Amino acid sequence: MPDNPFFVINPNAANGRVGKNWPALKARTEEVLGPVDFELTKAPGDASRIAREAAEVGHKLVVSCGGDGTHNEVVNGLIVDDKAVNPDTVMGLFPMGTGGDLRRTVGAFGNVEDHLSRLKDGSDWRVDIGRIDFVDFDGGPAHRYFINIGSCGLSGMVDLTVNHTTKFFGGRASFFIGTLRAMARYTYPSIEIRIDEGPAIAGPMTTIAVANGQFFGGGMHFAPQAKMDDGLFDIIINHKSSFFQSVAGARDVYAGKHLRRSAFEMHQGKTVEMTGENVYLDVDGEVPGKLPATFRIIASALALRVSDSPSRGMDE
């Protein structure tokens, strides 16, 4: 059984800086952690295959080196059929991407030395994982796991916008600009939601977030009370707001104070069903398909390497 940590490297993360800097980063990593094994991704979805194979052969620490999209792919490699491929495998984070929303929730802040210290001496936190069953872009059934937030509505359109443009300006600026561009053409579709088979909540919606973590959209503190280990989603419903109301409330969203506004409501639950026409999904920063969709929590599904005293839920 291999003892070396295994690094899943997305060379395109951070506008290509990860691939450019990996040789130097690898050298420093091996000074701290000892020999490491690694593989660079070559195409979308490749990180899932690499992570699954690393877990199958017995690597005890599989590290995702990239952004939130890479982290999501690694989760989808480590979790198969609603359970861990290898219950002894721990997922580590080496956040190097644009959005950085998962690292905000788990407190994975700092520089290279901080990340290496966490991987070497941190503690392992067993967290929940979300599963979403949905319709892919070919019209067929599909499913995907997520560790942070799955959502739909404006958030899906924002991701489509951001992921097809440069992220040169960094996570927060890229997502804020993408949000403004997407809002200008968003049509506020009618969406119906049922939580734990309860009564329907329906109407024109801006965004609905099914949250395991707290942050999305490049630093928006959208689910400030969410806990990754309580066996529950926090469901944040943002009803239709005007463009100017949304822009005026942006400061509250980033500060996690928006739930006091009348356009928002929060629920908790283990399953969430949504229906709507031509409503795009956002799953950990990627757009895999559209509604209808069912979200389900899988409690304590994954071990995550974190700092001994992580500032979970705190922004930098």
173 has pLDDT over 70: no
Please state the rounded mean pLDDT for residues 242-261.
Answer: 83
**pLDDT tier at 286 (50, 70, 90 boundaries)?**
confident
Provide the pairing of β-strand 83-84 with 281-283: unpaired
Confidence (pLDDT) at 44 = 92
CB atoms within 10 A of CB 195: 21
**Helical pair 17-33 and 112-121, crossing angle rounded to 10 deg:** 40
Round the average pLDDT of the chain to a whole number and report it.
89
Domains, in order of start, for the chain: 6-97 (3.40.50.10330), 130-300 (2.60.200.40)
pLDDT in tens, 184-239: 578 899 999 999 999 999 999 999 999 999 998 888 899 999 999 999 999 999 99
The pLDDT of residue 164 is above 60: no
Q: How confident is the model at residue 161 (pLDDT cuts 50, 70, 90)?
A: low
Average pLDDT over residues 78-100: 93
Between CA 109 and CA 226 the distance in angstroms is 19
- Strands 61-66, 90-95: pairing kind: parallel
Measured distance CA(56)–CA(178) in Å, rounded = 38
Q: Does residue 316 surpass a pLDDT of 50? A: no
pTM: 0.90
How far is it, in rounded angstroms, from Cα 234 to Cα 214?
9
Residue 89's pLDDT band (cuts 50, 70, 90): very high
8 A C-beta contact, residue 315 and residue 105: no
Q: Could you tell me which of 188, 159, 185 has the C-alpha nearest to residue 174?
A: 159
